[in-house]
Amino acid sequence: MRDLQRWRGLVALVRDAVEHGSRAVERIQIETAGRPFAVLEAIPGVEEPTRLVHGIHDATVTGVHGIIRGVTRVVATTVDVGLRVAAELPTGDDEG
């Protein structure tokens, strides 16, 4: 049982690391790309297409990181359920 708790703790730790890491990387990607976009958006003639590309870029980055976090939550929940089921299985030590 103690090993099972450790595994569940490890799953939670990895899930949280991916969640927070993904949010940090998403923020950095959007901020870093925002600098050249801001310069291009200040240039007459290219400001409109640049705004469009900027919006698509930001939406794509946000979407990808949302998918990463969503898949991580689903996997973590699935593993947790599997560990709970495993905890209920007979170990074979009860024979005798």
In this predicted structure, what is the pLDDT of residue 90? 85
The C-alpha atoms of residue 87 and residue 71 are separated, in whole angstroms, by: 24
pLDDT band at 19 (very low <50, low <70, confident <90, very high): very high
The verdict on residue 2 lying in a domain is no
Centre a 10 Å sphere on the Cβ of residue 77 and count the other Cβ atoms it contains.
Answer: 12
Number of domains observed in the structure of the chain = 1
In this predicted structure, what is the pLDDT of residue 96? 46
The verdict on residue 37 lying in a domain is yes
Range of the domain at 72: 12-84
The verdict on residue 3 lying in a domain is no
Is the CB of residue 76 less than 8 Å from the CB of residue 14? yes
Q: Burial code of 25-55, b = ≥16 C-beta within 10 A, e = fewer?
A: ebeebbeeeeeebeeebeeeeeeeebeeebe
DSSP 61-76: HHHHHHHHHHHHHHHH
Report the pLDDT averaged over residues 37-42: 98
Segment holding 87, helix H or strand E: helix 47-88
Assess whether pLDDT exceeds 80 at residue 54: yes
The verdict on residue 1 lying in a domain is no
Assess whether pLDDT exceeds 90 at residue 94: no
* Range of lowest pLDDT (12-16, 43-47, 80-84): 80-84
CA-only gyration radius of the chain, Å = 22
